[in-house]
Amino acid sequence: MSTHYLTRKVFKGLDSVVKLLTWIGNGAIALITLIFMIDVCGRAFLNKPLYGSNELIELTMIILGFAIAYATWTKQHVKMDILSPRLPRRTQAILTSIGSLLEFGISAVIAYEVFMKALNMLKIHEVSPFLSIPTGPAVFALSISFFVSCLTSLLQAVSPHVSEEKSEGGSAI
Amino acid sequence: MNPELVGAAGIGVMLVLMFLDVPVWISMASVGFVGFGIIHGFHNALNLVELLPDATIGDYMISTLVLFLLMGEFADISGLMEDAYRAANIWLGNLPGGLAMASIVGAGAFSAISGSSMACAALMGRVALPQLLNHKYDEKLATGALCAGGTLGNLIPPGVLIIFYCIMTSTSIGSLFAACIIPGIVLTLMYCIQIYIQCKRNPVLGPRAGGTTWRQKLLSMKYGAALTIVFGLVMGGIWFGTFTPSEAAAVGTVFVLIYAVIRRSVKRQNLVRAFTNTLGTTGMCFAILIGVKFFNSFIVVSGLNEALATWVTGLNVAPIIVVIVIMIVYSVLGTAMDTLSMLFLTVPIFTTMLLALKVDLIWFGVLVIIQMEFANITPPVGINLFIIGGMAKPKGIGMETVFSGVVPFCLTMLVFNAFMLAFPQIAMWLPNLLKR
């Protein structure tokens, strides 16, 4: 089995996972908006704000952590882009690979530590203070996001050309 | 090793990584993690990794950022930008350089519901550039005005950079929103006056468009109605204590979406794109915030910020001198760094020092946002220049035209900066009034 074949397989697998995470992330954004609207309308018209809305928002925000995996996959993380455009393509590719390896390392450490934390939270049945919602699964979702980011960075480090086609680039700030 | 020395070395390493094109969040997180580990041991550094990520992004305040980003996306779909430009055009088009002024005013109006400089420059470029060129406007003036219009994106609230600054310095979002309003209006007026003077001296730069009647002018106000309502709802809600900033952002987002639905500009495709764009930018912001938290923790344990604050207060110079020096540092950095990197690198270091000097962080926030916007139009790395340059390229306009076209606007911004430094009341009057 050639390396190229393997990277394409990993690429396809990750692509499907990121698509799923994107839909969940989009859903989380919609849910956050909805929770706020229910809270505001309830308070304004019925004098009954949504009980535990802050908790719901904060947990949904952690699930929205999937956005990090999406940003890594679409190469939207901010870079300085000052030096590299002036360098030869080969040097640019080497720098990109070094950056991706560093990203792989940091994402792997975060994914592992957050995963262990989520496991611990599940083990001790940690719940939110007002609504008693288990908090472990949300933190677990965040570790998945970093795990996907970590695999994406590794893929970008070993085979930058495979991941070129998916880049949408650019942030909106 | 001396922790302060480790802190200084860490900043150096981080800058090298950033210049080598390592993503900003990775540069900050890796330096933060390793630096923290060197000073406090790697076991503690790993504890930090366990604690920070979910605590950072699961912060209620950060939902404000996500919702304002979504509101900006919906505003793009709804055609509010085109409306703002159309109304400004009818009012200002017949003045010398009127169309360029209209693009500035239109960008200012759109900034009232969108918090992104890039989005503002890009949308205005798309809407106004063809019109400016059709009316035989000077290419330098046209592109320069569009780049400058983008600088209002973050200055006029709600601005994403404002929210970032408030999260980093634990200052009130509502107060900084209020503090940015008058400077935003002043800068809009200053740009317009500059264009008027340029075109009055040399009418070829910006010929007058056809005149409009008062009836047309009054009727055009309907184009600005929705925008005014959203701005009033969002900002009024925050200032009068009806909503928290996050709730106001949610209400504004839903209002803009309903407006877009009524205008029948919402399609499944652009709705999904709006959410996905928000998701991508959110991911980028989350990652940077996590990186900043790591870096902040490292700087705090290194004691570098405290040492810097002690050193600066020991100099016995007036705080205003320190602020002026910081502004000069920003102006220099802005020619080489992008705004987000600059903001995240400097604010954690400067904040402790400014607090020791009893500088108002709201006023300083306004100055920082202005500097960030200035960096967006200063060659060679100002992002607005590349956005407008990219749009102008198919029309045969080169980057050198964009670069020279933006110079008068950079000078206006320098004068504006000096104004804001000399008269803090311009920024602080409204937040102080709302506090009473």
- B310-339 residue pLDDT tens: 888 888 899 999 999 999 999 888 877 778
Determine, for residues B338 and A78 on separate chains, whether the beta-carbon distance falls below 8 Å: yes
Find the mean pLDDT for residues B343-349. Answer: 87
Contact B90, B220 (CB under 8 A): yes
Q: What pLDDT sits at residue B146?
A: 95
pLDDT band at A170 (very low <50, low <70, confident <90, very high): very low
Q: Contact B18/B27 with Cβ under 8 angstroms?
A: yes
Select the residue of A72, A74, A139 nearest B54 (Cβ to Cβ): A139
Query: Dihedral angle at the C-alpha atoms of A116, A120, A125, A128, nearest 10 degrees?
Result: -60
Q: What is the largest CA-CA distance in chain B?
A: 75
Measured between its terminal Cα atoms, the distance across chain B in Å is 50
Whether A164 has its CB under 8 Å from any CB of chain B: the answer is no
Contact with chain A for residue B37, Cβ under 8 A? no
pLDDT of residue B270: 93
Under an 8 A CB cutoff, do B66 and A98 touch? no
Would you state the pLDDT for residue A162? 58
The average pLDDT across B399-416 equals 94
Amino acid sitting at position A68: I
Reported as a pLDDT band with limits 50, 70 and 90, residue B254 is very high
Confidence (pLDDT) at B402: 93
pLDDT-derived band at A168 (thresholds 50, 70, 90) equals: very low
Which has the minimum average pLDDT: A118-122, B220-224, B403-407? B220-224
> Tokens in use for B213?
């009647």
**pLDDT over 70 at B96, yes or no:** yes
pLDDT at B20: 85
Q: What are phi and psi of A96, to 5 degrees?
A: -60, -45
Whole-angstrom Cα distance, residue B258 to residue B229? 13
**Residue contact A79–B69, C-beta within 8 A:** no
- Whether residue B427 is predicted with pLDDT greater than 70 in this model: the reply is yes
CB-CB: which of A106, A172, A173 is closest to B30?
A106
pLDDT of residue A70: 96
Q: Which pLDDT band holds residue A113 (cuts at 50, 70, 90)?
A: very high
Return the pLDDT at A112. Answer: 97
Q: What is the pLDDT of residue B340?
A: 79
Mean pLDDT of A85-113: 90
Query: Is the model's pLDDT at B412 over the cut of 70?
Result: yes
User: Is A118 in a helix, a strand, or coil?
Assistant: helix
| Per-residue pLDDT at A132 | 95
Interval A40-91: pLDDT, tens: 999 999 999 999 999 999 999 999 999 999 999 998 888 877 777 778 888 8
Reported as a single tens digit per residue, the pLDDT across A8-35 is 888 899 999 999 999 999 999 999 999 9
- Chain A interface, best mutation among B21, B60, B155, B333, by max A CB count within 10 A: B21
pLDDT of A163 reads: 54
Using CA coordinates, name the residue in chain A closest to B46: A113
- Distance from B120 to chain A by nearest Cα, in Å? 9
- B230 at A interface, C-beta within 8 A: no
- Over range B218-237, report the average pLDDT: 89
Name residues whose C-beta falls within 8 Å of residue A94's C-beta, 6 or more positions apart in sequence.
none
**How confident is the model over A135-147, as pLDDT tens digits?**
999 999 999 999 9
> Which of A80-84, B124-128, B268-272 bottoms out in mean pLDDT, i.e. has the lowest?
A80-84
Q: Average pLDDT of chain B?
A: 91
How many angstroms separate the CA of residue B49 from the nearest CA in chain A? Answer: 6
Q: What whole-number percentage of chain B has pLDDT above 70? A: 100
